[in-house]
Structure 1
Amino acid sequence: MVEYISIGLALLTIGLGAFGFLAPRYTASALDLETTHTTMGLSEMRASVGALFVAVGFACLFTGSASAYFMLGVVYAGAATGRALSLILDAPPFRKALTFFAFEAIPAGFLLWAHSLT
């Protein structure tokens, strides 16, 4: 069961990352971000919000190793930590930020727990 959930989380990561990679304008809008004088923001969306997550998800599926899935958990934990700090310091739209936090913290907890045991 752990294996199937882990694979599902890797696929979810690829899917969500694909939005940032292939549809950066849509993703920027969903995250309340705007491009300004240049398209550098779109470049950043494709790289850090998109391709980074696609690559990590594919690495998990390609290797199938517990350490790859553990590192996916670390990535989610890092995102959840940044989101938690933002909730405390930045006063973002609470419900939206809390929802995003849950989508980061829950996979982080599961992946770190499930793949630190193997």
Structure 2
Amino acid sequence: MYDLVFPALALLTIALGLFGLVAPRYTAGALDLETTRSTMGLSELRASAGGLFVAMGIVCLWTGDPGAYAMLGVAYAGAATGRLASIFIDNPPKRKAFVFFLFEAVPAAILIAPVLTNR
């Protein structure tokens, strides 16, 4: 099962990262972010919501290393943790924030579970 699911999650990661990398204005709109006063916000989106995720997904596919997939899971877990904190602290639009949380927490659980069950 992991032979199909892990690469699929890596491909999904690359696809989502490509939005941030090549379409940062679209990504900003989808995330309710505003780019004001300078284009530094676009630069940040290309880097943190784009290139970072594209690179992580590519390395997972390229190496096929379970450790790489586990670290991709850790990245998703970090994002899910931040999203959950935001839900309780920042009061974002609940439905949208919860959907984004699921898109982070589910891949995290799938990618990290094999590491936790082997120890």
TM-score (norm 2): 0.96
The gaps in structure 1 that reach 5 residues or longer are: none
CA distance in 1, matches of 2:18, 2:114: 25
Question: CA shift at 1:114, angstroms?
Answer: 2.5
Indicate the RMSD between aligned Cα atoms, in angstroms.
1.1
Q: Output the amino acid matched with 1:75.
A: A
- Alignment correspondent of 2:34: 34
CA distance in 2, matches of 1:75, 1:111: 10
Question: CA shift at 1:3, angstroms?
Answer: 1.5
Q: How many residues align?
A: 118
- Alignment correspondent of 1:14: 14
CA distance in 2, matches of 1:13, 1:36: 27
- Alignment correspondent of 1:81: 81
- Alignment correspondent of 1:96: 96
CA distance in 1, matches of 2:27, 2:3: 29
Using a 3 Å threshold, how does the CA distance of structure 1 residues 112 and 78 change in structure 2: closer, same or farther? same
Report Cα offsets for 1:55-91 as digits up to 9, x if no partner. 0000100110000000000000000000000001000
Identity in percent: 61
Find runs of 4+ consecutive structure 1 residues off by over 6 angstroms: none
The gaps in structure 2 that reach 5 residues or longer are: none
TM-score (norm 1): 0.97
Instruction: Verify the 8 A CA contact 1:2 1:114 in the aligned structure 2.
Output: no
Instruction: Verify the 8 A CA contact 1:6 1:69 in the aligned structure 2.
Output: yes
